[in-house]
Amino acid sequence: MTRSNRKQARRSCSEAADLLLSAGDPGMNNVYELMEQVAETDITLLIRGESGTGKELVARALHQLSNRRSAPYIKINSAALPSDLLESELFGFEKGAFTGAHRTKKGKFALADGGTLFLDEIGDMPTGLQAKLLQVLQDGEFAPLGSEESVRVDVRVLAATNRDLERAVEEGTFRRDLYYRLNAISVKLPPLRDRRLAIPVLAEHFLQKFNEQHSMKAQLSSQIMNAIMRHNWPGNVRELENFVRRIVVVGNQQTILSEIALPSTVGQVKPKIQALVDSALANVDEVPQIDLLKLKKSAFRVAEKHFIEVVLNETRWNRVESAHLLRISEKALEWKMRKYHIN
């Protein structure tokens, strides 16, 4: 993919996916770089991460970056359906294949022919179906229920899970051969609590989205922003999105604030990193001086500059240690210091 085509494809991704991938986190930049490397291949990608980290957004963005972007993108949740219904949804069935099969129906694999099939919650797929899925991945063909003829398809499969598949393999609940087939390339999305600088960017995006959706003009007070930045977000991006939605719809920020007022016990941040975040938030009063509608561009720069200064002071300006704490390279740290005139 040429540079211009790559930029065009990236712009065609949803705004939420673009924000998720670029909202100020080196780890997510690495995710996007990997996606660009494998986008034009048909290799299977396993997307891992906690619930709510945006695994489906990554899958959609990957589809848009691929040569299959003009073909169908089909999603199915492996945990949402019982085994027999999931099989018919995946592979389709012929008329009369079972009681109630009054007509022939195409399955998700057939519907995704030429495009991408996203298998969400793959770790919860019943073991009986795993062998048939493996066959499709290996041979590119399957037989619909009630049919003696095989159907060939050209489908790029993406899978996602929040489960420990290695443990599931050892426990015998997930096929080892299917695991190795799906895990050709694996990418893990970091939880939102490890992406502190992305939180105000995403919050402002969701605020604009729901203000437009509900014809409202809600804003995020400095108190709300402070609480948002301190919360650990065990439900990740999805929890943040729902939280901002309630602020817009309910309107009473004090009532909503009580939902995250208590410190979360889920996914505690490393003490030293949390201390740095708390210190950076000491000057959070800078945020209200910025038009919240421009928070995506402006507030992030304010937060990033201040956070880098806090880390440098904490390490006595040891750039190696500072880069390690910030999870960026020394070269990237030096570039940012020049950018923000930190010396």
DSSP codes of every residue in 168-226? HHHHTSS-HHHHHHHTTEEEEPPPGGG-GGGHHHHHHHHHHHHHHHHT------HHHHH
- The DSSP output letter for 270 is P
How far, in Å, CA of 88 to CA of 3, rounded?
41
Helix (H) or strand (E) holding 36: helix 26-38
| Short-list 333, 231, 243, CA closest to 278 | 231
Residue 260 has what pLDDT? Answer: 72
How far, in Å, CA of 177 to CA of 127, rounded?
12
Query: In whole angstroms, how far apart are CA 67 and each of 76, 115, 154?
Result: 21, 9, 13
Dihedral sign for Cα 336, 339, 342, 343, please: positive
**Around Cβ 339, how many Cβ atoms within 10 Å?**
12
The β-bridge partners of 156 are 116
How far, in Å, CA of 132 to CA of 17, rounded?
32
Residue 81 has what pLDDT? Answer: 84
**Regions of the chain where pLDDT drops below 70:** 1-27, 252, 255, 259, 261-303
How far, in Å, CA of 89 to CA of 111, rounded?
10
Q: Could you give the angle at which helices 127-139 and 83-91 cross, rounded to 10 degrees?
A: 20
Domains of the chain: 3-188 (3.40.50.300), 192-339 (no CATH)
Residue 129 has what pLDDT? Answer: 92
Q: How many CA atoms lie within 13 A of 184 on its CB side?
A: 14
Residue 299 has what pLDDT? Answer: 55
The β-bridge partners of 74 are 117
How far, in Å, CA of 306 to CA of 309, rounded?
5
How far, in Å, CA of 332 to CA of 5, rounded?
26
- The DSSP output letter for 338 is H
